[in-house]
Structure 1
């Protein structure tokens, strides 16, 4: 598969018969750098699809990675240093090696909506700090949220920093992929979801606002909040009551409150 297909805007490409196939970016989490790749290969709970090693990487470093891959039964492919940088999406820290780790619950948002749509979905909109994305993935997965939309544009890439912040949960999180948060809001609305945005100065309390059977919750970016494109599509706004002298919560903290309010409402799970 070409780099262009790997970076496909809609997450799909066509095979020789004209049928759509899912982009690798919607099937794998790519980790890069010698230590993260070796850790992934050493983790028996992870399914590493392949390792790609730059042809400039030689000597003891290459031998160590090759031994670890051989021990795990993972194929190693050689590629140009430029190709590794493009695939990793990080030209400074890839160290000439990356690994594609199978993310069994990651899939395109379109596929999730056409199969058995989850009742509760989070949508990340402009969240660019990897630590926040990772912590949201961990919290939402722990709370049993059925889907976390992580758009390819406008949100921190699903890279080793996100994986580290999630304490490894990112590999198993129910990540849903699409091009942008605005695209996700439109798709969710069309699928019958109420789309709610979290805001600090809105009248509707998260704790007592009635919700429909299917609801999506937009978490805005650290500085700009919910984008204008998404604002135009929301069903309503929800706030977290804060009687203390604090204007707002960090987005990952707000996500934790939201997720476990869904647990409270359901009595056991947010599915």
Structure 2
């Protein structure tokens, strides 16, 4: 059975929920409204949901906080938005045509970085972006905002941890390349068509468990006097070098 976390992006707060309900390109599965929510704001949400044909469930304020995963900003309401390209990693790897090239996010905890990576990788036509449920920023309104809404239709692949993703991908025949400050130049490396590229966290970089499974390390040449790039910037360089090498969308 597929977990709801592998089917929906959950947005919370009055404005994000109203925006999701008003967007004709999005399919909202349901709205959950705290039973303590009253007044004009709650009325507006109920009216918008009714106009869109979306069911509204009532729940305790505590339950809404738990489901939103954010106790300060949910404002007593959340919506589950269908993410049509989101799939469990295991299902995709077992399918007939798994993607040739995927990104793996490993310990990236800043929502803005996750959102920008989703936008960039989707624009570059990558077939999958592994966003583990643990160790990476939750796919929440901050990520959606940073992606400029692309997160809803990004090819997100879900699993528990980056280490699990690395193991599954390796077992499925993917070469595993980690990006770091040292390693072979990205622009000079020979890359197989079937490969996974690991982007490490903002502070710690690629985790030890994932690094142990790496086929090799790649670095982005920087002739200027700068130690490293922001991980979202590094992802952009990588993704569009892959566009240069391969036809997107394969």
Q: Which runs of 5+ in 1 are unaligned?
A: 1-20
What SS does the corresponding residue of 1:261 show, helix, strand or coil? helix
Distance, in Å, in 2 between the alignment partners of 1:233 and 1:130 is 26
In the TM superposition, 1:1-150 aligns within 5 A as 21-115=1-95, 116-150=97-131
Q: Which runs of 5+ in 2 are unaligned?
A: none
What's the offset of the Cα at 1:174? 0.1
Contact kept in structure 1, 2:182 and 2:217, CA below 8 Å: no
The count of corresponding residues between Structure 1 and Structure 2 is 249
Q: 1:192 aligns with which of 163, 166, 173?
A: 173
Contact kept in structure 2, 1:263 and 1:270, CA below 8 Å: no
Distance, in Å, in 2 between the alignment partners of 1:133 and 1:270 is 21
Contact kept in structure 2, 1:194 and 1:235, CA below 8 Å: yes
What SS does the corresponding residue of 1:100 show, helix, strand or coil? strand
4+ residue segments displaced more than 6 Å: none
Distance, in Å, in 2 between the alignment partners of 1:156 and 1:177 is 13
Residue deviations 1:35-73, cap 9 Å, x none? 000000011110000000010101211111000001111
2:154 aligned partner? 173
Distance, in Å, in 1 between the alignment partners of 2:36 and 2:90 is 39
What's the offset of the Cα at 1:205? 1.1
Residue deviations 1:2-61, cap 9 Å, x none? xxxxxxxxxxxxxxxxxxx10110000000000000000011110000000010101211
CA RMSD of aligned residues (A): 0.7
Corresponding position: 1:252 with 2:232: yes
Contact kept in structure 1, 2:114 and 2:137, CA below 8 Å: yes
TM-score, normalising length: structure 2: 0.98
Contact kept in structure 1, 2:32 and 2:58, CA below 8 Å: yes
Contact kept in structure 2, 1:195 and 1:233, CA below 8 Å: yes
Contact kept in structure 2, 1:120 and 1:270, CA below 8 Å: no
Q: 1:262 aligns with which of 229, 232, 242?
A: 242
TM-score, normalising length: structure 1: 0.91
What's the offset of the Cα at 1:258? 0.3
